[in-house]
Structure 1
């Protein structure tokens, strides 16, 4: 008998993967957490029935949520990751030598604990001396921070449950206040095939707050539709103004100096969402 996991991404569409083993399952105080070993994508972290990350394709998301912002900022020293308890965004942040401190604020400590056990290639840098791990509400952490961070990365789940407030205009205003004068933030903003209204709303909210607002995309096979968007808000520096030759080569599998600019070139139907 074969066991398959299916994520129902809309009422009429989903993706499925054959499961070799269930490593762990539990109801945390915040969500249903499962760690599955899949035949195609290796270990897969699932929260409330939604795929968060897998060993095979995680590098795309984690590189793209971090490097466009960190190469746009001229000297990022202190970086905050909201969510991202698997540790992948932190791993990528630490590839930038100017970073002196990276703070991870994850509301669900069980995500961190389980990722350390079953996703060591993703979570391995959480023990780095430059990293501070805080198990707390990222929304409240932002509220209390003022002029503190050079870059803020919102590595949240989809807008359900505790993550809903991470897609609201007030949260983006709080991020603006928590950033330094040259600050930049990036949030994952779901996919344009199924969540066009969400992308439009977030982009407009961020645009009303930040002088520079950009949308960019990446291909993440296990995320709904495979085409994923990220929204960047910047106080001063435009990612399109970064010179290709100024982007250092670092160890990546997806992000490249040429892709830094190319990822901001949007398909026409995505451009239309922003009007």
Structure 2
């Protein structure tokens, strides 16, 4: 008998993939957590029925949420990841020798435990000396650390449950305060196909908080629609003005320095999302 996992991404659309077995299931204090083994993507981490990461395509998301900001900042020393309990963003951050401390503020410690157990390649950096793992509310951590960070990455789940507060203007204002005077933030901001209103609102909220705001996209096959967006807010450094020769290059699978500026050349329909928001302001 064939077994299939289906994620209902909208009321009218979903994705389905053939699975071999369920490896792990538990209900944490915050959400349902499953690790399943799929035929197409290897092991898959699922929270509340939504795909978070897989063995096969995880590198796209983790490289893209990390390297654009890290390569834009000239000397990132203190870096915070809000969410991101799988450890993939931390792994990419640690590639930068300038980083002295990488803090992971994840509200659900069970996600960290499961990632260490079932996704060791993704979580490979969590045991390094430069990493400070804090099982805590990321919003509270932001409030308690003004002026501390060079880069903050918001590696959140979809805007439901414990992640709702990570898509609100007062949170971005808190991030602004937690960053140093030349700090940069990046947030994952969902699919242009399915979350147009959210992208418009987040872009407006970040652009009224930071003097430089940019949106870029990446192709992630297991995320809703396969096209994913990220929004960057910067106090000083513009990712479009960094010289390619100054960008660091690593043994990555998706991101590379030649992409840095090209990433911000958006499809017309995505540009129109942002233009519509500007017209409404």
Q: With the length of structure 1 as denominator, give the TM-score of the two structures.
A: 0.99
User: 1:165 — aligned with what?
Assistant: 165
Alignment of 1:202-213 (within 5 A): 202-213=202-213
| Aligned: 1:194 with 2:191 | no
Alignment of 1:64-83 (within 5 A): 64-83=64-83
User: 2:252 — aligned with what?
Assistant: 252
CA distance in 2, matches of 1:125, 1:248: 19
The CA RMSD measured in Å over matched residues stands at 0.5
| Aligned: 1:127 with 2:127 | yes
CA distance in 2, matches of 1:241, 1:172: 23
User: 1:3 — aligned with what?
Assistant: 3
| Aligned: 1:214 with 2:175 | no
CA distance in 1, matches of 2:143, 2:17: 39
Any gaps of 5 or more consecutive residues in structure 1? none
Q: Secondary structure at the match of 1:225?
A: coil
User: 2:265 — aligned with what?
Assistant: 265
CA distance in 2, matches of 1:88, 1:106: 13
Q: Secondary structure at the match of 1:114?
A: helix
Alignment of 1:219-258 (within 5 A): 219-258=219-258
CA distance in 1, matches of 2:147, 2:12: 44
In the TM superposition, residue 227 of structure 1 has moved relative to its aligned partner by 0.4
User: 1:38 — aligned with what?
Assistant: 38
Alignment of 1:8-27 (within 5 A): 8-27=8-27
Q: Deviations over 1:74-105 (max 9, x none)?
A: 10000000000000000000001110100000
Q: Secondary structure at the match of 2:75?
A: coil
User: 2:60 — aligned with what?
Assistant: 60
Alignment of 1:94-105 (within 5 A): 94-105=94-105
| Aligned: 1:155 with 2:149 | no
Alignment of 1:87-98 (within 5 A): 87-98=87-98
User: 1:274 — aligned with what?
Assistant: 274
CA distance in 1, matches of 2:127, 2:28: 23
Q: Secondary structure at the match of 2:260?
A: helix
Moved over 2 A (4+): none
User: 1:183 — aligned with what?
Assistant: 183
CA distance in 1, matches of 2:65, 2:77: 17
In the TM superposition, residue 248 of structure 1 has moved relative to its aligned partner by 2.0
CA distance in 2, matches of 1:103, 1:12: 38
CA distance in 1, matches of 2:58, 2:66: 13
Deviates more, 1:57-66 or 1:245-254: 245-254
CA distance in 2, matches of 1:75, 1:93: 12
CA distance in 1, matches of 2:128, 2:43: 23
Q: Secondary structure at the match of 1:46?
A: strand
In the TM superposition, residue 245 of structure 1 has moved relative to its aligned partner by 1.1
Q: What number of residue pairs does the alignment pair up?
A: 275
CA distance in 1, matches of 2:132, 2:144: 17
Q: Secondary structure at the match of 2:46?
A: strand
Q: Secondary structure at the match of 2:74?
A: coil
Deviates more, 1:14-23 or 1:45-54: 14-23
CA distance in 2, matches of 1:97, 1:159: 33
CA distance in 2, matches of 1:75, 1:8: 41
